[in-house]
Amino acid sequence: MAEHFAAEMVINGRRVTSDSTVGVLDPATEEVWAVVPECSDAQLDEAFAAAAEAQPAWGRDEEARRKGLRSAADALRRNEDELSELLTREQGKSRADSRMEIQLSAMWLEQFAEMPVPESSVPDDCAGFAVSAERRPLGVVAAITPWNFPVTLACWKLGPALRTGNTVVLKPSPYTPVSTLRFGALIADVLPPGVVNVVSGGDSLGARMTTHSIPAKVSFTGSVATGKAVARSAADDLKRITLELGGNDPAILLDDVDPEAIAEKLFTLSFANNGQLCGCIKRIYVPAAHFDRMAELLSGLARGVRVGPGMVEGTDLGPINNRPQYERVLELLDDAISHGAKAIAGGEPPAGPGYFLPPTVLVDVAPDSRIVQEEQFGPVLPLVRYTDLDAVIDDVNSSKFGLGASVWGRDVDRARAIGRRLESGTVFVNAHSIAAPNIPVGGAKWSGLGMENGLEGLHEYTQLKVTFESQDS
Instruction: Check 8, 80, 85, 278 and give the catalytic one.
Output: 278
Q: Let me know: does 217 contact 250? Beta carbons within 8 Å.
A: no
- Residue 206 binds to ligand NAD (criterion: CB under 6 A): yes
| Catalytic residue status for 244 | yes
Helix, strand and coil in the chain, % to nearest 5:
40, 20, 35
Amino acid at 94: S
User: Least distance to ligand NAD from the beta carbon of 250, Å?
Assistant: 15
- Residue 249 binds to ligand NAD (criterion: CB under 6 A): no
Instruction: Identify the residue among 245, 251, 372, 384 touching ligand NAD (CB under 6 A).
Output: 245
Instruction: Identify the residue among 221, 270, 273, 360 touching ligand NAD (CB under 6 A).
Output: 221
Residue 26 contacts by C-beta under 8 Å, 6 or more apart in sequence? 32, 33, 89, 90, 92
| Catalytic residue status for 46 | no
Question: By CB under 6 A, how many residues form the interface with ligand NAD?
Answer: 29
User: Least distance to ligand NAD from the beta carbon of 1, Å?
Assistant: 27
Buried b (16+ CB within 10 A) or exposed e, 413-443: eebeebbeebebbbbbbbebbebebeebbbb
Q: Among candidates 197, 94, 92, which has minimal Cα distance to 148?
A: 92
Site for ligand NAD in 445-464 (CB under 6 A): 448
How many whole angstroms separate alpha carbon 260 and alpha carbon 413? Answer: 21
Q: Which stretch binds ligand NAD (CB under 6 A): 85-93, 226-234, 306-314, 337-345?
A: 226-234
Q: Among candidates 256, 263, 360, 258, which has minimal Cα distance to 307?
A: 360
Buried b (16+ CB within 10 A) or exposed e, 52-66: bebbeebbeeeeebb
Q: Which stretch binds ligand NAD (CB under 6 A): 16-24, 169-177, 251-259, 461-469?
A: 169-177
Q: Which stretch binds ligand NAD (CB under 6 A): 21-29, 74-82, 144-152, 310-318?
A: 144-152
Residue 86, beta-bridge partner list: none
Q: Among candidates 258, 260, 228, which has minimal Cα distance to 243?
A: 228
- Residue 179 binds to ligand NAD (criterion: CB under 6 A): no
How many whole angstroms separate alpha carbon 333 and alpha carbon 383? Answer: 13
The widest CA-to-CA distance across the chain, in whole angstroms, is 82
Q: Residue 314 CB: number of other CB atoms within 10 A?
A: 9
Instruction: Identify the residue among 55, 173, 242, 299 touching ligand NAD (CB under 6 A).
Output: 173
Q: What is the per-residue binding string for ligand NAD in 387-406, x denoting contact by CB under 6 A?
A: ----------------x---
Q: What is the DSSP string of 180-237?
A: HHHHHHHHHTTS-TTSEEE----HHHHHHHHH-SS-SEEEEES-HHHHHHHHHHHHTT
Instruction: Check 38, 244, 375, 460 and give the catalytic one.
Output: 244
User: Least distance to ligand NAD from the beta carbon of 148, Å?
Assistant: 5
Q: Which stretch binds ligand NAD (CB under 6 A): 110-118, 161-169, 216-224, 265-273?
A: 216-224
- Residue 244 binds to ligand NAD (criterion: CB under 6 A): yes
User: Least distance to ligand NAD from the beta carbon of 195, Å?
Assistant: 21
- Residue 229 binds to ligand NAD (criterion: CB under 6 A): yes
Catalytic residue annotation:
244, 278
Contacts with ligand NAD by CB under 6 A lie at 144-148, 153, 171, 173-174, 203, 206-207, 210, 221-223, 226, 229-230, 244-247, 278, 375, 377, 403, 443, 448
